[in-house]
Amino acid sequence: MNITTENRKWLDDFKLTHPLVIAGPCSAETEAQVLKIAHELKNSDVSIFRAGIWKPRTRPGGFEGVGAIGLKWLQKAKAETGLLMAVEVANAAHVKLALEHDIDVLWIGARTTVNPFAVQEIADVLRGTNKIVLVKNPVNPDLSLWIGGVERLYNAGIKKLGVIHRGFSTYEKTKYRNIPEWQLAIELQSRFPDLPLICDPSHITGRRDMILEVSQQALDLNYDGLMIETHIDPEHAWSDAAQQVTPTALKKICKDLRVKKTTVEADDYTLEMGKLRSQIDIADSKLLQILGSRMKAAEQIGALKKKHNVAVLQNKRWNEVLEKMILEGQEKGLSEEFILKLFKAIHQESISHQEKIING
């Protein structure tokens, strides 16, 4: 796949002085709702209006979208506001209907990206068209699957491509709805620097109060844009109420974001240093999250030892762990001295957690 600056021309054509903003409701609910939101977003930083027409639900019985009738509402919204229109498509039939209604931007959702057969069918229908197509990351953290989705579209002759980072599912309980796993998006960005990268903080956070924080992280990492779910009455939205913001709140978020200059006059050193430091901050946060999980496991071990009257310190086990970590650390370019210091500190903290459980 030979992604070049020519492939991001669609983004440059917007001639934006700020990151691209795609906004609109999680779901199109009524014609009046769609038109009201679109008009409130018309004179803002929003360039593309989004609305879910077909909503893939994990289990049957939930609201699965209004279907094709919603495309007519988007046509009307486009005619009245001039905003480009975007919808999620999950199969070839969706694509055909979207093309018939002259939808400008199609995005492939996380549940569809995991299915190469579905992506290929979508690519085949889109062959020969000039639409903007965006690929969301798959549900699970699989970079190859994400790239594969883009490749299928690229091989079908689709040149107006981009990707959307919406986070990844996890069994662990975290502050995110879908953990960012920023390093995967960074790796994709490194491999294909001319492929527009858009962040979806709504799905990453699942909470409207975290939208600004995650949006800023994305911009600090040189993302090209944001997709933010926006509703006139978020509390009563028919789907994903907790993660949607009002048009007024969206405008404030856009105003509060610190946008780095990317003009030729910008200091390349400062921009690159800011990006690298953001990557370190993300890695540090992940380290703390992992260490926290490790200490919880240590506490469970402590409870088990207490139950069976077993000593806290197990030297044989500790030496085995240390030996293994030294070898693995050396494979990653880390010195034995550093590994010893690091894991002795971790081991001591684990012992302390176990002792609190046993003596508590």
Residue ending a domain, among 222, 256, 290, is: 256
Q: Which residue has the tokens 């990206």?
A: 113
Are 243 and 283 in a shared domain? no
Are 191 and 277 in a shared domain? no
Are 295 and 207 in a shared domain? no
DSSP state of 245: B
Residue ending a domain, among 193, 223, 256, is: 256
In a domain, 263, yes or no: no
CATH number reported for the structural domain that contains residue 21 in this entry: 3.20.20.70
CATH number reported for the structural domain that contains residue 327 in this entry: 1.20.59.10
Are 10 and 113 in a shared domain? yes
Are 197 and 342 in a shared domain? no
Q: Confidence band (pLDDT; 50, 70, 90) for 261?
A: low
pLDDT in tens, 77-134: 999 999 999 999 999 999 999 999 999 999 999 999 999 999 999 999 999 999 999 9
Are 272 and 226 in a shared domain? no
Residue ending a domain, among 230, 256, 282, is: 256
Are 200 and 234 in a shared domain? yes
Are 295 and 159 in a shared domain? no
Which H helix or E strand runs over 129?
A: none
Q: Which residue has the higher pLDDT, 60 or 331?
A: 331
Residue 70 backbone phi and psi in degrees, to 5: -65, -25
Handedness of CA 215, 218, 219, 223 (dihedral sign): negative
How high does pLDDT run on average in the chain? 92
In a domain, 180, yes or no: yes
pTM: 0.80
Which H helix or E strand runs over 229?
A: strand 225-229
- The whole domain housing 333 covers 268-359
Are 141 and 207 in a shared domain? yes
pLDDT in tens, 217-258: 999 999 999 999 999 999 999 999 999 999 999 999 999 999
Are 187 and 313 in a shared domain? no
Are 28 and 121 in a shared domain? yes
**Terminal Cα distance for the chain, rounded:** 59
As a 3-state breakdown, the chain gives helix, strand, coil percent values, each rounded to 5, of: 55, 10, 35
Number of structural domains found in the chain = 2
Are 102 and 212 in a shared domain? yes
Predicted confidence at residue 266, as pLDDT, reads 56
